[in-house]
Chain A
Amino acid sequence: MPKGMTKNKDEITRELQELGLSRLASQMKEESGFGVPQGYFDGFSASVRQKIDASRQKEPATKARFFSLRAAVSMAATFLVLIGLGVSFLLLREGKEEGLFSDFDDQIFDEYFARATEFDRAMFYDLILDTEVADSKSAQAASQAEEDFFVEYLLDAAQYYGIEPTELIIQNGNDNRH
């Protein structure tokens, strides 16, 4: 179980009680519920040491290979891009002369509009109705997320402008006493 610094426990409990948060204050005495395998921390430093030794042995070889691999990949990529540019330039020229691309575009648009006319109206209404139901369900969650976002924004802004957000704290404290 976590080894906390118990010196502040009373202060934190008192703070929660002053805020009127009795459930959280009473829960302070409890554990968090997390556990670890038996003897886990006895072997922790050895695992760290092992990983450090492994990374030290690997480092020079990996670096050398990484650089050569990176150089090879960049050369190959540059080569491919150059070939690609050349081929597309040739194709564009050829296509322009023979109307290759304009014919292709016409085909795509014809097919798209043919499918659009077959659009099922019932499915369209279903979509609207589903959205309305989903909206009503998620409205509460969304308003909470907005509130969180707003609070985070205020705190960040206060931090940026060097203002202590004491008014926000007082406001919070007063709200809770009702």
Chain B
Amino acid sequence: MVHYSDEELLKRFSQSDNPGYAFDLIVRKYQEQVYWHIRRLVIVHEDASDIAQDVFIKAWKALPEFRGDSGLFTWLYRIATNEALSFLKKKRKRFFLPMEDVEQQLSNALETDAWFDGNDIEKKVQKAILSLPEKQRVVFNLRYYDEMKYEEMSRILDTSEGALKASYHHAAKKIEKILTS
């Protein structure tokens, strides 16, 4: 598959007779990154799959108004983060659950999910990440798994680099403590 730059894809989307094809290329370019980002937050494959598809449907609807102030990648990650967090929030509200119970549910899902085949250490790491507050989980995942620079994260989460660094360090120390206990 030919890899187009974001600018080329956006140009094709807005100027060609077939924006559907250009959008298809955008989906193919970012589907995996968007999916994995969501999956690490909501844990269950089926939920992640639904949310990831919703992210692209929202992007399709909003793309004609997309001004390109932030990069396409940043924009998609922002939608994905919001969608995943609002899914968790809805889950909590629907069943009148406190935050800890949702975390416990997600932690249990790791044990039962057919699409999680991590070893004991990987399971322990994931459970430790689930013990973090939501914001810290997002920051930790973006840095540790997506290997994102603080600068990029700052654009996605609209938070200063210093705050993200502090948040990540705090989260990482907490996880290390759980891993070594």
The answer to whether residues A172 and B166 also contact, given A19-B172, A30-B121, A45-B28 and a CB cut-off of 8 A, is: yes
Instruction: List B contacts of A39 (CB < 8 A).
Output: none
Instruction: List B contacts of A41 (CB < 8 A).
Output: 31-32, 35
Query: Interface size of B by Cβ–Cβ distance < 8 Å?
Result: 55
Within A130-159, the residues touching B (CB, 8 Å) are: 148-149, 151-152, 155, 158-159
Cβ-closest chain B residue relative to A166: B162
Report the Cα distance A51→B133, complex, angstroms.
33
Contact between chains at B39 and A176 (CB < 8 Å): no
Query: Interface size of A by Cβ–Cβ distance < 8 Å?
Result: 51
Report the Cα distance A36→B52, complex, angstroms.
13
Which residues of A come within 8 Å of B, CB atoms? 2-9, 12, 16, 19, 21-24, 27-28, 30-37, 40-41, 44-45, 47-49, 51-52, 55, 148-149, 151-152, 155, 158-159, 162, 164-166, 168-169, 172-173, 176
Instruction: List B contacts of A151 (CB < 8 A).
Output: 166-167, 170
Contact between chains at B32 and A31 (CB < 8 Å): no
The answer to whether residues A24 and B179 also contact, given A32-B118, A33-B117, A34-B118 and a CB cut-off of 8 A, is: yes
Within B152-181, the residues touching A (CB, 8 Å) are: 159-163, 165-167, 169-170, 172-173, 175-176, 179-180
Report the Cα distance A31→B118, complex, angstroms.
8
Report the Cα distance A166→B162, complex, angstroms.
6
Q: Which of B2-10, B85-93, B140-148 contacts A (4 or more CB under 8 A)?
A: B140-148
Contact between chains at A49 and B28 (CB < 8 Å): no
Contact between chains at A158 and B162 (CB < 8 Å): yes
Report the Cα distance A48→B26, complex, angstroms.
12
Taking A23-B179, A34-B45, A45-B31 as given, write out 19 further A-B residue pairs in contact, using a Cβ cutoff of 8 Å, ordered by the A residue number: A4-B147, A12-B143, A19-B172, A24-B176, A27-B125, A30-B121, A33-B116, A33-B117, A34-B116, A35-B117, A40-B49, A48-B27, A48-B56, A52-B57, A155-B166, A155-B167, A164-B161, A166-B162, A169-B165
Within B63-83, the residues touching A (CB, 8 Å) are: none
Contact between chains at A169 and B166 (CB < 8 Å): yes
Contact between chains at B27 and A44 (CB < 8 Å): yes
Instruction: List A contacts of B119 (CB < 8 A).
Output: 33
Contact between chains at A155 and B40 (CB < 8 Å): no
Cβ-closest chain B residue relative to A23: B179
Interface CB pairs A-B, < 8 A, 25? A2-B32, A23-B176, A30-B122, A33-B117, A33-B122, A34-B40, A34-B115, A35-B115, A41-B31, A44-B27, A44-B35, A45-B28, A47-B53, A48-B27, A48-B57, A51-B53, A51-B57, A148-B133, A151-B167, A155-B159, A158-B163, A159-B160, A164-B161, A166-B162, A172-B169
